[in-house]
A and B are shown apart, each in its own frame.
Chain A
Amino acid sequence: MSVTVFTPEFKRRADQICANYPVKRAAALPVMRLIQEEYGAISGKAELEIADYFQIPPADVRELMTFYTLFYSKPKGQCHIQICRTLSCALLGAGELIRYMEEKLGIKAGETTKDGQFSLDKAECLGACEIAPMAQINKEYVGPLTKEKLGKILKQYYLGVRD
Chain B
Amino acid sequence: MPTLKIDGKEITVDKGTTIIKAAEKLGISIPYYCYHPGLSIAGNCRMCLVDVEKTPKPQISCHIQCQDGMVVHTDTESVKKLRQHVLEFLLVNHPLDCPVCDQAGECWLQDYYMKHGLYDSRLDENKVKKSAKAVPIGPTIMLDSERCILCSRCVRFTDEITKTGEFGIFNRGDHSEIGIYPGRELDNKYSGNVADICPVGALTDRDFRFKCRVWYLKKTESVCPGCSRGCNITIEANQERPQHGRGERVMRLKPRFNDEVNDWWMCDAGRYGYKFIDHDRITEPIQRLDSQVKVVEWDEAVKNLLKSFKEILKKSKDEVAVFLSPQMTNEELYLAKKLFVKELGVEEVHLVRTNIDGDQDDFLIRADKHPNRKGAELIGFEEDERKIKKIIDAGLKGKLKALVLFGQDLVSFYPDRNVEEMLHHLELSVFIGSNHNLTSEHVQFVFPAATYAEKDGTFTNFEGRIQRIRQALIPLGESKTESEILMFLARKLDFDWPYQSQEDIFDGLRRSVSQFQRLNYQKIGKGGIKVS
Contacts and interface: CB of A to CB of B under 8 A. Distances in A.
A58 interface: yes
Interface string B217-256: 0000000000000000000000000000000000000000
A66 B183 CA distance: 16
Interface stretch (B164-172, B258-266, B307-315, B474-482): B164-172
B523 interface: no
Nearest to B168: A59
Contact of A66 (B165, B170, B180, B184): B170
B168 A60 contact: yes
A40 interface: no
B181 interface: yes
B358 interface: no
A9 interface: no
A161 B165 CA distance: 48
B27 interface: no
A59 B181 contact: yes
A120 to B, nearest CB: 20
Interface in B158-183: 164-172, 179-183
A99 B469 CA distance: 70
B171 A67 contact: yes
Contacts of A59: 165-168, 179-181, 184
A62 B181 contact: yes
Contacts of A67: 170-172
Nearest to B181: A58
Given A44-B182, A57-B181, A62 B170 contact: yes
A82 B169 CA distance: 26
A63 interface: yes
Given A67-B171, A67-B172, A62 B165 contact: no
B165 A60 contact: yes
Interface in A44-78: 44, 56-60, 62-63, 66-67
Contact of B169 (A44, A56, A63): A63
A128 B179 CA distance: 36
Given A44-B182, A62-B181, A62-B182, A57 B166 contact: yes
Given A44-B182, A62-B181, A57 B170 contact: no
Tell me whether chain B's interface is mostly helix, strand or loop, or mixed.
loop
Interface in A66-101: 66-67
Contacts of B170: 62-63, 66-67
Tell me whether chain A's interface is mostly helix, strand or loop, or mixed.
helix
- Interface size class, chain A: 10 to 19
A58 B184 CA distance: 9
Highest count of chain A CB atoms <10 Å: which of B166, B171, B181: B181
Contacts of A66: 170-172
A146 B171 CA distance: 33
B164 A57 contact: yes
A56 B165 CA distance: 8
Contacts of B168: 57, 59-60, 62-63
Interface in B297-347: none
A8 B167 CA distance: 30
A156 B432 CA distance: 89
A59 B179 CA distance: 8
Nearest to B167: A59
B9 to A, nearest CB: 42
Interface in A30-44: 44
Contacts of A56: 165
Interface in B2-50: none
Contacts of B166: 57, 59
Interface string A130-152: 00000000000000000000000
A62 B177 CA distance: 12
A44 B183 CA distance: 10
A59 B165 CA distance: 7
A66 B171 CA distance: 5
Interface in B353-386: none
A144 to B, nearest CB: 30
A44 B166 CA distance: 16
Nearest to A58: B181
B150 to A, nearest CB: 13
Nearest to B163: A57
A44 B184 CA distance: 12
Nearest to B164: A57
B169 A57 contact: no
A66 B172 CA distance: 8
Nearest to A69: B172
Highest count of chain B CB atoms <10 Å: which of A57, A59, A67: A59
A92 B164 CA distance: 50
A1 to B, nearest CB: 15
Contacts of B165: 56-57, 59-60
A60 B164 CA distance: 11
A81 to B, nearest CB: 23
Contacts of A58: 181, 184
A44 B182 CA distance: 9
Nearest to A56: B165
Interface string B492-527: 000000000000000000000000000000000000
A162 B167 CA distance: 44
Contacts of A57: 164-166, 168, 181
A21 to B, nearest CB: 21
A162 B172 CA distance: 35
Nearest to A57: B165
Contacts of B171: 66-67
Interface of A: 44, 56-60, 62-63, 66-67
15 contacts: A44-B182, A56-B165, A57-B164, A57-B168, A58-B181, A59-B167, A59-B168, A59-B181, A60-B165, A62-B170, A62-B179, A62-B181, A63-B168, A66-B170, A66-B171
Given A57-B164, A59-B184, 15 more contacts: A57-B166, A57-B181, A59-B165, A59-B167, A59-B168, A59-B180, A59-B181, A60-B165, A62-B181, A62-B182, A63-B170, A66-B170, A66-B171, A66-B172, A67-B172
Interface of B: 164-172, 179-184
- The 9 A-B pairs at the shortest CB distance, nearest first, are namely A57-B165, A59-B168, A58-B181, A66-B170, A63-B168, A59-B181, A66-B171, A67-B172, A62-B181
